Amino acid sequence: MPPTFDFDFKFQQGFQGRYTFPTGLFINGEFVDSVDKETIDVVNPATGAVIATVSAGNEKDVDIAVQAATKAYKSSWGLKVSGLERGKLLFKLADLIERDVEEISCIEVLNVGKPYLATRHRETIGASNYIRYFAGLAGKLHGKTVEIDESIMAYTRYEPLGVVGAIIPWNFPLFLLVWKLAPALAAGNAIIIKPSEITPLTTLRLCKLFNEAGFPPGVVNVITGTGQAAGAAITKHMGIAKVSFTGSTAAGRHVMSSASSSNLKSVSLELGGKSPSLVFDDADLEQAVRWTAAGIFTNAGQMCYGGSRIYVQEGIYDKFLESFLAFVQKSKVGDPWDSSTTYGPQVSQAQMDRVLDYIDIGKKEGAVLARGGFRVGDLGYYIEPTVFTEVKQDMRIMKEEIFGPVVALAKFKNEEDVLEMANGTMYGLAAAVFTKDVTRAIKMSNELEAGTVWVNMTLRLQPSMPFGGYKESGIGHDLGEEALRSYYNLKSVHINLGGRL
């Protein structure tokens, strides 16, 4: 029998319940043990305690899942089901997530350490709305008729790829699952999902909803396990036509290499970032402080698009720094269940150690530690929001992705000066500009080498807007019609209407 998650919630907001569901592999609509019967412990980052055990799959299990997905795609999904019907199932899934919003949010908090209120309102409800966007697009991506001449009729058509794979990171397990699942299913593909072995619980909880929503068995399959075993097997499997991966740039290289050495499967890679925020003299100072703080410290800094570099124009630098430090000082790091908590823990011991190592590197390189820099308490993996000033462009904390609550501040003189610094990185995922000058805002947005640019805000994403990176921040896009298109093959058809050779 596969392992089971069993936890008794007693939450101060007024609800409680005992949540139980299987934590085996989900293949062909059923929970099963992995072939080798191996398991992985799952830890609560707020306490460091083991809260669940999940099955650990490998290439044998991935192969079984691909067989199930292939059969389902050919017999009861793909082109056999209309876009209208696929959309109905996705709308039903979104409704079920909202119905179970408390339970799903609690599981996400327990597994990832995010503050409950933000998780419920932004991520769980947000996930259901992202599904609805793609549900509405199902069946609405059309080919076109192309005029050749009187003897030839030509047209294009979109056809699903078949079986696709999705590898989900640990920082936004539910949200990023939806980003990949919804367009893949809307396009008519069957899918093999590998959640992070660190944060697999919400993905496994949703498996019950896939069945309840009415998706045919085998259309959605979940293989829990390590990246080295389950993830690598997905990237190199000859029966998988595409892999969508979110994670580090280093891991993305391995995904791309495996894809090229197997069947040249399509890849979408959303990778690392070192996003700059540009604060000009004419910015609304209070709003710039609030947005830039949220842009780096939300989710305990564990965001690929987090604004970890803040460049402030000389005329307001001192005032900005004073206000920024005072604002951050008011934040509370602690218990995710406490409604007054602003930021939760790092996701694991390893991630906490990585962030603390980078803080030591920053101090050794000569950056000024203006705030934070220490672990909070001795239970769980909490780190204070950390602010470095006087940071030079060649320092590692300015160049390398830390993926934690650490921000580097530096001054700039003018537009040319800050553009050179902002673009002087191997990454290009996101950037932010703070100014009241519309002309400057547009100019900076156009010249910043980043896939997403925010003006006078940060972090805001929309399901209708594509999200992807420049340079070593990735290939392809999540969200928007661009994401949906990436889950199709485009076929050209030429018909001879009587012309002779």
Give the tens place of pLDDT for each residue, 84-115.
999 999 999 999 999 999 999 999 999 999 99
Mean pLDDT of 423-451: 98
Cβ burial, residue 297 (10 Å; 0-12/13-18/19+)? buried
Domain limits, the chain: 28-271+476-489, 276-462
pLDDT for 14 equals 53
Question: How far apart (Å, rounded) are the C-alpha atoms in residues 87 and 85?
Answer: 5
Strand 152-160, strand 145-149: pairing: antiparallel
Domain 276-462 CATH class label: alpha beta
Burial label for 202, CB within 10 Å (0-12, 13-18, 19+), is buried
Is the Cβ–Cβ distance between 46 and 380 less than 8 Å? yes
> If pLDDT is split at 50, 70 and 90, which confidence band does 11 have?
low
Over the stretch 234-243, which tens digit does the pLDDT of each residue have? 999 999 999 9
> By the 8 A CB rule, do 339 and 383 touch?
no
3.40.50.261, 3.60.21.10, 3.40.605.10, 3.40.50.2300: which CATH number matches 28-271+476-489?
3.40.605.10
Q: d(Cα 250, Cα 124) in Å, to the nearest integer?
A: 29
φ, ψ (nearest 5 deg) of residue 271: -115, -150
User: How far does Cα 191 stand from its chain's mean position?
Assistant: 17
Work out the percent of the chain whose per-residue pLDDT is above 70: 99
276-462 and 28-271+476-489 share a CATH fold: no
Asked if residue 364 has pLDDT above 80, the reply is yes
Say if residue 486's pLDDT is above 80: yes
Q: Name the nearest CA neighbour of 358 among 377, 343, 372.
A: 372
Sheet order of strands, 488-496 included: 145-149, 152-160, 488-496
Task: Supply the pTM of this predicted model.
Answer: 0.96
DSSP string, 63-91: HHHHHHHHHHHHHHSGGGS-HHHHHHHHH
Counting every residue written for the chain, the total comes to: 501
Q: What's the pLDDT score for residue 9?
A: 73
Q: CA-CA distance, 109 to 121, in Å (whole number)?
A: 12
Any idea which residues carry the catalytic annotation? 270
